[in-house]
Structure 1
Amino acid sequence: MTQNMPGGSRFDGKVVLVTGGATGMGYAAAEQFLAEGAKVVITGRSEAKLKLAAERLTTAGRVLAVPTDVSKPAEVDRLVSAVRKRFGHLNVIFANAGVGVFKRIEELTEEDVDYTVDVNFKGVFYTIQRSLPVLRDGSSIVINASWTTHRGLAIGSLYAATKAAAANLAKTLASDLSDRRIRVNSVSPGYIDTEMFREGVPTAEAREDSARQSVQKRVGTPEDVARTVAFLASDDAAFVNGVDLLVDGGVVNSVPA
């Protein structure tokens, strides 16, 4: 588990919601927040994966796992009710749950479009909207977007469009929620070594090619993203608002030497 930050824990007494918290970047973020003193609520659609994650994370009653399909408002409402019953409120939301369908545009089906829009945009929107009654003033929201919102990818038209919508939502909600002093930012990870990445990039050769696109010559880790999310959610980023922060090793903005 990630070690506490020097000089104390930034999230002591705070309650954090991480959607898609059973694996990958969501799990790493949950681990990071727990290490820094938070109580953490994780969600996921797979009850089996969620149960396993909760067993690995559980620390003195500070973890609540709630099976949730964030694309369905009724399920998000049940999630919020569970949060209110267990912890009473939220201080941080990491709207992380997402899916990837990577095909050329002529190959995409109506089902692909509905599925991706439902999870990547509507799921983020409903997570935030339905959580507002338990989200305290002065809280922080971080949305997981993608490097593909900044640079075109031939097979990424649908995925990138939904992630761009999510990143734009962070900017508009930073304004919309400013009367409650709620900060809203997004992160745009590059190639990150997650289960989803390995499914989309199944061979070692292809993963090495992804690594070569970074000026750091490596694929990122879920922990790279988790630490950035924790920074944006913390008081260390108190004057950071409406920003999309690339966590990509330079893939978008720098050409490898």
Structure 2
Amino acid sequence: MSGKLENKVVVVTGGNSGIGLATAKLFANEGAKVTITGRNAGTIETAVAEIGHNAIGIVSNVGDVKSFEPLYEKVDNAFGKIDVLVVNAGIMGMASLEDFTEDLFDQIVDVNYKGVFFTVQKALPFLNDGASIIITSSSVSEKGIPNGSVYVSSKAAERALVRAFAAELAVRKIRVNTLSPGAVNTPIFTKAGLSQDLSDGMNDFFANAVALKRLGRPEEIANGFLFLASDDSSYMTGVDLVIDGGFRDL
């Protein structure tokens, strides 16, 4: 590896599976001191073993604002101030407009919008000037997806937050960008409560809907995070990097 993140302190929320795990592994291989978070202690332990390089894992719930300060204090005690914050934790929920419940609405918004906002806000005292913040949005943020009104709008809200954060934090030379993946081969649909058959059907649909006619690999998305985290993107802020096989714009 090239050592693009040598000795950089990195936090990846939702780093215990899928895109977050692939990103944490790549960052560690590039020399970073990596902390991952997630809600499940067992999957965090397994992920930390996969990442290696003295990575650490901390149980933290993005839906609980009170959990953020203890998280960042632990990172600060272990590694020092943060150079790269990947705000990747998120949830998907699908239901028709008629059947959408207030409880499901609140679950999605609490993690994908409120959770993202406070993940960044509470990190500010623990960030180095010149840090890079990357928020995982989705290429569906500009698409009309049946049964996805709240999920899609929560991802659009993340994109709006990035523009505002980038403008506000520029005084500290902190760059804030979005990475918007398309359909990627991860367990996101089964985590959202879909059966394996329905999950397979959704994956088939999205694979056929993209220009490249396949799902993305988590490692391909991780390369985009590395670009935004490193000095390769030193003159980029407020940008949405779309890696979706041609789903959104073709």
TM-score, with length taken from structure 1? 0.92
Counterpart position of 1:179: 171
1:129 to 117, 121, 131: 121
Contact 1:148 1:156 in 2 (8 A): no
Counterpart position of 1:149: 141
Counterpart position of 1:224: 220
Q: Once superposed, which parts of structure 1, at least 4 consecutive aligned residues long, lie more than 4 Å away?
A: 198-201
Contact 1:102 1:156 in 2 (8 A): yes
2:239 & 2:58 partners in 1: Cα distance?
Answer: 29
User: Partner letter of residue 71 of structure 1?
Assistant: G
Closer/same/farther in 2, CA of residues 119 and 247 from structure 1, 3 Å limit: same
2:33 aligned with 1:39: yes
How do residues 43-58 of structure 1 correspond to structure 2 at under 5 angstroms?
43-58=37-52
Contact 1:95 1:142 in 2 (8 A): yes
Counterpart position of 1:241: 237
1:207 & 1:125 partners in 2: Cα distance?
Answer: 29
Counterpart position of 1:190: 182
Q: Secondary structure at the match of 2:241?
A: strand
Q: Which moved more, 1:208-217 or 1:233-242?
A: 208-217
Closer/same/farther in 2, CA of residues 205 and 163 from structure 1, 3 Å limit: closer
2:63 aligned with 1:71: yes
Counterpart position of 2:160: 168
Contact 2:25 2:50 in 1 (8 A): no
User: Partner letter of residue 209 of structure 2?
Assistant: Q
Deviation at 1:208, TM superposition (A): 2.7
Counterpart position of 1:88: 80
TM-score, with length taken from structure 2? 0.95
User: Partner letter of residue 76 of structure 2?
Assistant: R
Contact 1:16 1:40 in 2 (8 A): yes
Contact 1:201 1:207 in 2 (8 A): no
Deviations 1:46-80 (A, max 9, x none): 11111111122122x2x111100022121111101
Q: Secondary structure at the match of 2:86?
A: strand
2:201 & 2:166 partners in 1: Cα distance?
Answer: 41
Contact 1:71 1:126 in 2 (8 A): no
Counterpart position of 1:15: 9
2:196 & 2:242 partners in 1: Cα distance?
Answer: 24
Identity over the aligned pairs, expressed in percent? 38
2:58 & 2:48 partners in 1: Cα distance?
Answer: 10
Closer/same/farther in 2, CA of residues 207 and 70 from structure 1, 3 Å limit: closer
RMSD between aligned residues: 1.3
Deviation at 1:201, TM superposition (A): 7.8
Q: Secondary structure at the match of 2:90?
A: coil
Report how many aligned residue pairs link the two structures: 246
Contact 1:92 1:139 in 2 (8 A): yes
Contact 1:22 1:50 in 2 (8 A): yes
